[in-house]
A and B are shown apart, each in its own frame.
Chain A
Amino acid sequence: MSVMTDRRPVADGGNPLPVSLKQARLPRWATPALALVAAGAGCGIGLGAGLDSTVQWGLIAALLFILGTFALAAGVEGARQAKDRLATCLVWVCFLLAVVPLASLLWETVARGSKVLDGYFLSHSMGTLPDAMPGGGIYHAIIGTLEQVGLAALIAAPVGLLTAIYLVEYGRGRLAKAVTFFVDVMTGIPSIVAGLFVLSVWILILGFGPSGFAGSMALAILMMPVVVRSTEEMLKLVPNELREASLALGVPKWRTILKVVLPTSIGGITTGVMLAIARITGETAPVLLLVWGAKTINNNPFEDAQQSLPLYVFQQWQQGSDASYDRAWAAALVLIAFVMILNLVARGIARWKAPKTNR
């Protein structure tokens, strides 16, 4: 990689006639060398000026690197190449900028969460333990989460599934249009608003107390539109020929849907439902308003306050002692693991059951 001498002439007025196809290029080692220089300079300036945050060092280094690349490229290769290199730099910086916090989030959760996470933590509730004391566990929260999410899925999955079937297989006319529109609207409901709605009807008007079931209703409202959307997508992928083949054999429509359409798309539908479950498992706001949280085990989701994992994390954080922070991180780790496993299994099913098309 040698530096070529010919420069492309710049168009001045008439048609640009390239004299040569050769183009002065920066040598290959220029980029890593510049990166090293910039990193060194960033640390140097950071140390010299006594900046205590390494975030600042990184920012200085990144800035130096980008400016250096642009200036060098503009000098050697011309403005267009310089812009191209600048864009490449920025895209890489964006990527690194995003990786740092997201990796840190995962790392912190795993590192701090594994401190108190053990069999005891998983199998005991908080009981009467004072908040500032170490010990206690999340058994009651796991029970609560499983029951609330399970009930929500029991409500939302059939309604969502049937609505999607209605929209794809029967849906025509004004009702279908209205449903489609309001499913869109429903997707945008903030979770706390869903919680407020159940609060206003179930607790303020009907006079029930807080319970796991109240939380489930809010979670179901959040889950329904997600299930409808994903199921709709999956049903639309089923080729019409399959339906027609079945109908042409004289199979009634409802049996066609049950025996042909649903089995064909069951993999994708399952994935969609599981992803929706994963999403509502992490919801805290409606649970805070409707389930309240508890320190002891309550196996009955229909009566009295319960605990849930995300709410447990929040309440332990609120306590503000070292012991409760440890518990918050450990519960967060369990929650993240649960959600990630659901996601991975769901995507695994999608890949395994995917219709064999080569795209």
Chain B
Amino acid sequence: MAKRIDVSGLSAYYGSHKAIDDISMTVEPRSVTAFIGPSGCGKSTFLRTLNRMHEVTPGGRVEGKVMLDAENLYGSGVDPVAVRRTVGMVFQRPNPFPTMSIFDNVAAGLRLNGSYKKTELKDIVEKSLKGANLWNEVKDRLNKPGSGLSGGQQQRLCIARAIAVEPQVLLMDEPCSALDPISTLAIEDLIGELKERFTIVIVTHNMQQAARVSDRTAFFNLAAVGQPGKLIEIDETERIFSNPSVQATEDYISGRFG
């Protein structure tokens, strides 16, 4: 179910502005990789290049290679729609479809990708909601609109929606930044469970969170405002937080800037 991501020489642009410059890294399957760094360093932009969401923004453009196992996401003939179906994404602010019920939200991706019998759909929705630790809270109101849930529940609903289509990779763009501490804890626990099945990449502003949930951590930085963001280093999370090999990483982690 989980695939390895190999990025080489990847740059991304907004129009003529270069947002990230020449990034190469490997993301291991069945592990959590965290991206940290100051605001504007391009970590979210980089995350969005991993499922070709970057090119959706007006003027967005990408150079370089992203290999998902043996396939280049940016190869010719590759359908971005198929890429996004394979690489799921959870956003900063929970975004359930406001007009759909909880059930329909989870089933939304499945309904796009094929026809299912009602019972199959029910099973997958239940499995996904259980996978997102939400089943017990919503099983009695599956037909209520998803927007009626609390922020933390909405975010877990979005995770259920993303894992329902059984993606290879799950990208999370600061999934807890709009949530309270208790909901954040629930999501972090969930990430720990999900990494058994998926390759997970998470962008976070919160260094404790990166230390808690991730196996490997990548530190991004930018030389100055307006300059493109760069990957400074990527390593085991423990090493990054105890004994990083680059001075800038240590400065950032110990709070000397950023």
Contacts and interface: CB of A to CB of B under 8 A. Distances in A.
Interface of A: 1-2, 4, 8, 10-13, 15-18, 20-23, 25, 80
Main secondary structure of the interface of B (DSSP, over half): mixed
A310 B8 CA distance: 68
Given A13-B120, A15-B166, A21 B78 contact: yes
Interface stretch (B81-89, B91-99, B190-198, B240-248): B81-89
Instruction: Give the interface size bracket for B toward A.
Output: 20 to 34
13 contacts: A2-B77, A11-B113, A11-B114, A15-B165, A15-B166, A16-B113, A16-B114, A18-B82, A21-B68, A21-B82, A22-B71, A25-B77, A25-B79
B82 A23 contact: yes
A203 B153 CA distance: 67
A10 B113 CA distance: 8
B71 to A, nearest CB: 5
Contact of A22 (B77, B114, B115, B124): B77
Contacts, number: 47
Contacts of B47: none
A80 B78 contact: no
Contacts of B82: 8, 18, 20-23
Q: Can you list the 6 inter-chain pairs with the closest CB atoms, starting with the nearest? A: A11-B114, A23-B79, A4-B77, A21-B82, A22-B77, A21-B78
A20 B71 contact: yes
Contact of B86 (A10, A15, A21): A21
Contacts of B85: 18
Nearest to A5: B77
Interface string B104-115: 000000001111
Interface of B: 68, 71, 73, 75-79, 81-83, 85-86, 112-116, 120, 124, 165-166
Nearest to A15: B166
Contacts of B120: 13
Given A10-B114, A21-B79, 20 more contacts: A8-B82, A11-B113, A11-B114, A12-B114, A13-B120, A15-B124, A16-B113, A16-B114, A17-B166, A18-B82, A18-B85, A18-B86, A20-B82, A21-B68, A21-B71, A21-B73, A21-B83, A22-B78, A23-B78, A80-B112
A336 B79 CA distance: 49
Nearest to B112: A80
B7 to A, nearest CB: 16
Contacts of B116: 11
B166 to A, nearest CB: 5
A23 B166 contact: no
Q: Which interface residue of B85, B113, B120 has the most chain A CB atoms within 10 A?
A: B113
Nearest to A17: B166
A20 B168 CA distance: 12
Nearest to A4: B77
A285 to B, nearest CB: 40
Contacts of B81: 23, 80
Contacts of A20: 71, 82
A18 B79 CA distance: 12
Contacts of B76: 1-2
Contacts of B78: 21-23
Nearest to B164: A15
B79 A11 contact: no
Contacts of B71: 20-22
A20 B81 CA distance: 12
A15 B76 CA distance: 26
A10 to B, nearest CB: 6
Nearest to B113: A16
Contacts of B86: 18, 21
Nearest to A78: B79
Nearest to A77: B79
A8 B114 CA distance: 11
Q: Which interface residue of B75, B77, B78, B115 has the most chain A CB atoms within 10 A?
A: B77
A23 B78 CA distance: 6
A16 B77 CA distance: 20
Contacts of A1: 76
A22 B83 CA distance: 9
Contacts of A23: 77-79, 81-82
B235 to A, nearest CB: 29
Contacts of A21: 68, 71, 73, 78-79, 82-83, 86
Contacts of B73: 21
Contacts of B77: 2, 4, 22-23, 25
A93 B75 CA distance: 32
